[in-house]
Amino acid sequence: MKKRVFFLILLFVCSIELLSGCTEKDKKENLYKELRIGTGWDATRPGDYQPYGMWEPAVLIYETLVNLDKNCSPVPCLADKWEISADSLNYTFYLHKGVKFHDKTDFNAHAVKTNFEKLGRINWLALKRVVDAVETSGEHTVSFHLSRPAPLFLFYLAGSSYGIIAPSAIKKKTQAHTMNASDTSMEKQDKKSYLVAKAIGTGPYKWDEKSYKRARTFDVVRNKNYWRKAPVFEKIRWKVIPNPVARTIALESGEIDMTGQSPNASLLEENIFNLKQNKKIKLKKANNWGARLVLINHTRPPFDNINVRRAMGYAIDYSTMSKIFSELAVVCPGPLGLNTPFTNPDIKFSRYDPDKAKNILNNMGIIDTDGDGFREYKGETVKISILISKSKGMGIVLCEALENIGFKADLRPKESGAIFKILQNMDYDIAVHPNIPSFYLDLYGTFHSKGRWGIRLNDPEIDNMLDQYIVCSDLKKFKELSFQIQKKIADKKIILFAINECKLAAYNKKLGEFIFPPEEWVGALQEVWRME
C-alpha cells in the first residue's frame, strides 16, 4: 500500500514538472515567434523598395558586401574576403558561394555589378563619384576600379544604403525629356533610369507585402533559407504609434516588445525616466558616428573676429548643456562623433569661464554703452539669432549663456529642409545643423571650400590638407591627416559644440541582449535577428 501511494505521489510530481517544463518551453517559443517594434511613423514608401525607401526593415532585407565589427573595422559579409591593389585603385571582392536571394535566384558577381550600374544614382551615389567601372571575373569575383584612392571605400560599402538587391527586382523606367534648345533637332529622347520594384535581398528576413497597412503596421518574415544561422524571430512587426507617451505605455503593457530613439521615433525624457523605473524593461544606448554641429557664422561681423568666437565658447557651461539631452544625446566638441575610428581625442571644449568671455569683449571695445544690458558693435546692439529645428531646450540654454555675457539672443525655429538652404546661403548667426552625413566620416564635404556642405572656411591650408586627405591611399596616414584637420578646424573656433545623438533601445528584458552595430542609427536594427 505504501509503495502504491509513493508511486502515485511520484507520478503526480513528475506530471507537474513535465507540465511546468512544457509551459516554460511554450512561453519561450511564443516569445520568439514575433517581435513587435513600436515606431513613430511609417517611413516606407510604397512602390519604392530601395533601402532609402524601406528605412527600418531595409537592414534585415538587404545585406552589404562588408560589415563593421565592434571596433569599427571592416569585416566580411556577402564578400568572404577582398584584395586591394598597391595603388589603392582596385578592390577585388571574393563573394560567399551558395547565397540565394529571397526569390531563390543566385547572389553573384553579376548581381553586384548590376546594382552599381543600374542603381548608381540612388544607393551608390557617393561611390559613383570615385568608381570608374565594375568588372566581374567568374561567378563569385567582382572588382571595383577607382578613379582615385578612396580611403573610406570599405566604410561606404558597409553603409545601410549599399545593400545588394536582386537583379530581378530592378526594373527599367523611361522618362521622356526635351533636349536643350541648342539642339536643332528638338527631338524627345528616352532617358533610362531604374527603380527597385520589389523588396528582394539576401537578408535574414523577407518583406511581407500583404501585411503592409500604410501608417499602421508592416512586417518582415523569417527567411528560412538564410545562409547564416537561423534568425531568432519568426516574424518582426512594426506598429506605428506616433505619440511617444502612448508608445511608452504600449511597451510597459506588453503591446509591443521594443521601441527607442531613431530617425522615425523619439522618446521624451519623462518616458525614459519611467522606463528606467520598470524592472521588466532594459534600456540600452550607443553613440552614433554622426554629429550635428552648432556653427558660428564666421563671415558675419562681429563673429568674423576669432576673439569674439572664443568669448562665445567660454560662455557655455557644457556640463549643463549635456544634462539637457539626458540619455538622448551626448554633447561633444566636434566635428565628428565621439566613437568614430577617426575622432581626434585631443579636441576639447573651451572651459566655462563667463568672466573671461566678458573681459575679452570689453578689451575689444564691444561694450554696453546705453545701459540696456546688451553690448553694442559699431553702434548697433549685438543680436544673435539661433537657427534650430529641434532641441528647443538646448536653444534656450544657449540663449541664456550668450545673454549672460551681454549678447541679445533669440531662437529662429525652421524645418530641417529649410535650414539646408539657409546654411548654403550663410544666412545665420548660429545654426544647429540638422544633419551632417558623417557616417562617411567625410570632413572634405563640410570643410573644404569646394565641399558639398561647405561652410566657406576658404582656408588654403585646410583645403590643401583636405585635398591630400580625400585621395590618401594609406589608412594610417589618412587617420593622421584627419586628426590634423580636426585640430585646425577646432582652432578656428567656428564650432561651439556638436550634438552626438544616441541610438537608444528600450525592450523587454526577456528578449535577451540587443546588439547595436557601429553604423548610423538608420541601420540600428541590423543585428536584431540574432539577439543574444
Share of the chain above pLDDT 90, in %: 61
* Domain map (residue ranges) of the chain: 63-170, 292-501
Question: Scanning the structure block, which residue is given the C-alpha cell 538652404?
Answer: 421
Grid cell locating 207: 518583406
Q: Quick one: pLDDT at residue 147?
A: 96
Q: How far is CA 182 from CA 1, 63, 178, 189, in A?
A: 110, 45, 11, 15
Q: Could you tell me whether strands 235-240 and 34-39 are parallel, antiparallel, or unpaired per DSSP bridges?
A: parallel
Determine the average pLDDT of the residues in 229-250: 96
Question: Scanning the structure block, which residue is given the C-alpha cell 546661403?
Answer: 425
- Cα(386)–Cα(380) distance, rounded to whole angstroms? 18
Q: Quick one: pLDDT at residue 520?
A: 63
Q: Three-state SS across 115-143?
A: HHHHHCCCCCHHHHCCEEEEEECCCCEEE
Determine the average pLDDT of the residues in 300-304: 97
Q: What's the pLDDT tens digit per position in 130-146?
A: 999 999 999 999 999 99
- Cα(361)–Cα(85) distance, rounded to whole angstroms? 55
Q: 263: pLDDT confidence band, cut at 50, 70 and 90?
A: confident
pLDDT of 21 > 60? The answer is no
Q: What's the pLDDT tens digit per position in 178-205?
A: 334 444 333 343 456 899 999 999 999 9
pLDDT of 29 > 50? The answer is no
pLDDT of 243 > 60? The answer is yes
Q: Quick one: pLDDT at residue 521?
A: 55
* Residue 12, C-beta contacts closer than 8 angstroms, at least 6 positions apart: none
Determine the average pLDDT of the residues in 210-224: 95
Q: Quick one: pLDDT at residue 332?
A: 92
Q: Three-state SS across 419-463?
A: HHHHHHCCCCCEEECCCCCHHHCCHHHHHCCCCCCCCCCCCHHHH
| CATH topology assigned to domain 292-501 | Dipeptide-binding Protein; domain 3 (3.10.105)
Q: Give the burial class of 216: count Cβ atoms within 10 A of its Cβ; 0-12 exposed, 13-18 middle, 19 or more buried.
A: exposed
Q: What's the pLDDT tens digit per position in 110-121?
A: 999 999 999 988
Contact present, 402 and 409 (Cβ < 8 Å): yes
- Cα(531)–Cα(204) distance, rounded to whole angstroms? 13
**Bridge partners of residue 385, in order along the sequence:** 410
Determine the average pLDDT of the residues in 380-387: 96
CA Rg, the chain, in Å?
A: 27
Q: Which CATH architecture has domain 63-170?
A: Alpha-Beta Complex (3.90)
Burial 135-144 (b: 16+ CB within 10 A, else e): ebeeebbbbb
Q: Return the amino acid letter for 434.
A: P
Contact present, 131 and 76 (Cβ < 8 Å): no
Tell me which residue of 128, 148, 136, 80 sits closest to 110, measured CA to CA.
136
Determine the average pLDDT of the residues in 50-55: 85
Same fold, 63-170 and 292-501: no
Burial 66-102 (b: 16+ CB within 10 A, else e): bbbeeebebeebbbeebeeeeebbebbbbbbeebebb
Determine the average pLDDT of the residues in 234-251: 96
Q: What φ, ψ does residue 419 adopt, rounded to 5°?
A: -65, -35
Q: What's the pLDDT tens digit per position in 457-486?
A: 989 999 999 999 988 988 899 999 999 999
On the CB side of 44, CA atoms within 13 Å amount to 26
Q: How far is CA 87 from CA 75, 149, 270, in A?
A: 21, 8, 54
Q: Quick one: pLDDT at residue 121?
A: 82
Residue 9: CB atoms within 10 A of its CB come to 10
Q: Which of the residue ranges 97-101, 235-239, 390-394, 496-500 would you say has the lowest mean pLDDT?
A: 390-394
- Cα(298)–Cα(454) distance, rounded to whole angstroms? 13
